Amino acid sequence: MNPPGPDRPERRFGEYIFRRGDRVMQVRNNYDVVWKDGLTSGMGVFNGDIGQVVEVDNRAELLTVDFDGRRVEYTPDMLGELEPAYAITVHKAQGSEYRAVILAVCEGAPMLLTRGVLYTAITRARELLILVGDEDVVAHMTANDRQQRRYSGLRWRLAQLANG
């Protein structure tokens, strides 16, 4: 997606190599990190935020990521909070929109092959949607409007609170 080149310094972290231009996702809430937006600054980057690597400074050991105008400098000990974001799950895409979406539709866990998941995936695309995969799975998902029941004990806990 973003091949090495003389104009793209890189930083290796575990199984990932980050280069200028890479799309990345913050995978943990970090309330303490400072971001800068021109003359203003603030704190916090959150799970699911997607940005772009704009600078790799190997001398200072810093990786700078731009999250919609908010720039965050990552030190080596913070790089575990980032993952490449060229391909993400429907779950992680929830709440976001993208100009173009390529959706891989294939067999999987039955609880995920629902109309609601398909609707969520399709509505992430603003301009272009490409479905790749099995038409039978799409038909199954379209017909499957069952909600997966969760057994969290929440109803029981709320009843306990209400009854004192």
CATH assignment of the domain containing 123: 3.40.50.300
Segment 59-76, tens digit of pLDDT: 999 999 999 999 999 999
Asked whether residue 132 falls in the same domain as residue 76, the answer is: no
Q: In sequence order, what are the beta bridge partners of 32?
A: none
Asked whether residue 35 falls in the same domain as residue 78, the answer is: yes
Asked whether residue 61 falls in the same domain as residue 48, the answer is: yes
Q: Are 17 and 83 in contact (CB under 8 A)?
A: no
- Write down which residue in 84, 113, 131 finishes a domain: 84
Share of residues in the chain with pLDDT > 70 (%): 98
Segment 126-156, tens digit of pLDDT: 999 999 999 999 999 999 988 766 677 888 8
Using pLDDT thresholds of 50, 70 and 90, give the confidence band for residue 95.
Answer: confident
Comparing CA positions, the residue from 128, 122, 126 lying closest to residue 105 is 122
* Centroid of chain to Cα 142: 25
Q: What 3 state SS string does the chain have?
A: CCCCECCECEEEECCEEEECCCEEEECCCEEEEEEEECCEEEEEECCCCEEEEEEEECCCCEEEEEECCEEEEECHHHHHHEEECCCCCHHHHCCCCEEEEEEEECCCCHHHCCHHHHHHHHCCEEEEEEEEECHHHHHHHHHCCCCCCCCCCHHHHHHHHHCC
Using pLDDT thresholds of 50, 70 and 90, give the confidence band for residue 1.
Answer: confident
Tell whether 3 is covered by a domain.
no
Say what the pTM is.
0.76
Choice among 11-15, 19-23, 40-44, 82-86 with the minimum mean pLDDT? 11-15
Residue 92 pLDDT exceeds 80: yes
Look-up: residue for tokens 């965050």? 72
d(CA 120, CA 154): 25
The residue segments making up the domain with residue 46 are 10-84
Strands 30-37 and 16-19, by their bridges, are unpaired
d(CA 56, CA 8): 8
Q: What's residue 63's pLDDT?
A: 95
Instruction: Give the mean pLDDT of 82-108.
Output: 92
Q: What's residue 153's pLDDT?
A: 82
Tell whether 43 is covered by a domain.
yes
What is the tally of structural domains in the chain?
2
Does residue 6 or residue 52 have the better pLDDT? 52
Does residue 2 or residue 55 have the better pLDDT? 55
